[in-house]
Amino acid sequence: MVRSTIVGLAWAPAVSVARSAILTTLSCIDTGTLLLVDEPGGTRHVFGQKLSSGADLSPTGTHERRVCTTPRVEIVIKKETFWMRLFLFADIGFSEAYMLGDVICEDLTSFFQLFIINRDRMRNGTTVVSRISSSLSYLARSTNTLSNSLLNISAHYDISNDMFAAFLSSDMTYSCPVWQTRIDSGLGDESLEAAQQRKLTRFIEGAKLKATDHVLEIGTGWGSFAIEAVSKTGCRVTSITLSKEQKELAEARVRAVGLHERIEIMLTDYRQLPVPEKPYDKIVSIEMLEAVGQEYLGTYFDRVNRLLKPDGGIAMFQCITMPENRHEAYSKSVEYVFIMLESHYACSHEVTLQHSFINQYIFPGGYLPSITQLLSHISEQSHGTLIIEKVENIGGHYAKTLRLWNENFQSHFDSQIKPALLHNHPGMTKDAIEVFRRKWEARNPDVVFSSRQFH
């Protein structure tokens, strides 16, 4: 009985302990302001810098935001289960509570910014309580409660081509673009498609593609790189993917522009791709390394080394990685870099995005390697023939991108995304649809890029 009520996240004594521990931790906030409205408990709390009288709430009961260098944000607790989720599961607990409607927050960006700024002070509050909560977390996870079932169901709903098309730019590129510099900002507000075009151009120029090249692309996406590369240079591209749905749409897009004789898209794993009699002149992979897994990083770069022309070959990669010195704060740190190689090109960007939440609900099975891991495997598997040429930090480019993707997702949810979701999953309930929508809201981590806490 005790076990089932604790797992249900609403056992009164446990909720009381959780609430007390969380409020104590929140009292460590000293930069910015958090207004917490606990509706079930009938209380209000203000943490951090106090607001002037009458300025904390608007007439509608929402937090009055001001133009300020420090974040001011309001959260409203709707259900007592929020306290236990946050107590037991920390960041992923908050995300799940948000997905289920246990907590309302109108400005997630400011909320996460507030915790990024205060993370060191709040981390010092880790005590025996956190160790107790860690030991209880497995117990709660092991039971399939109604709310946990909703979360588990939402995790298994695949997002289709149509849903991606609703929030991506028309070129269907789902990776970080490169925006125009501040010096060029007077040219006007740049479109997402133009920024993606600039990124693809950088790859084409960085890999020094030419008409005689045979290029291997690991991770097709929807074919934007292959189409752009062949259109601009006349090269030949072999692109591999594990997604049948992406392959079909990419092939349709290739045929539509008349490039099917220069672009071949294969449904195969990089480990199963045979080494051609004549190795590939260039290899390109854009944000696919995250899916390789820690145990296969060596295998991946061994395959790259075998598939690439040994004399003058160039490879260029872009991937999400984890900073070495922030393993414990994996979900709250970010760095975005390009690594260029002399005889082969590699590029990567470092970004850590709510690791546990992303891995469970957005990118299951994914692993974010560190730069050290990448460089070590590149060197070991190539026996030192890959030489690092350049590292470039372009992290700020992701913040605007994620913000625009999220805006597009919200504006097209009812008209395009929800119908596509119901078409693919006719039995999906109204509650499950709402959890799905909130999941994609919670995945928007633009604050870790826009905040100058990381470089």
Give the Cα separation of 75 and 291 in Å (integer).
34
Task: Give residue 7's pLDDT.
Answer: 41
CATH code of the domain occupying 182-402: 3.40.50.150
Residue 77 has pLDDT above 60, yes or no: yes
Q: What is the 3-state secondary structure (H, E, C) of 45-94?
A: EEEECCCCCCCCECCCCCECCCCCCCCEEEEEECCCHHHHHHHHHHHHHH
**pLDDT per position as a tens digit, 411-427:** 999 999 999 889 888 88
Q: Domain residues of the chain, as ranges?
A: 2-143, 182-402
Query: And the tokens for 40?
Result: 């079930």
Q: pLDDT of 20-39, one tens digit each? A: 988 998 998 988 999 999 99
pLDDT tops 50 at residue 454:
no
Give the residue, 233 or 349, on which the prediction is more confident: 233
- In angstroms and rounded to an integer, the radius of gyration of the C-alpha atoms of the chain is 24
Per-residue pLDDT of 301-326, as tens digits, reads 999 999 999 989 999 999 877 766 65
Question: Which has more confidence, 68 or 217?
Answer: 217
- 158 pLDDT band (50/70/90 cuts)? low
Closest Cα partner for 233 from 256, 255, 253, 203? Answer: 203
9: pLDDT confidence band, cut at 50, 70 and 90?
Answer: low
pLDDT score of 283:
97
Q: What is the pLDDT of residues 194-243, one digit of tens each?
A: 999 999 999 999 999 999 999 999 999 999 999 999 999 999 999 999 99
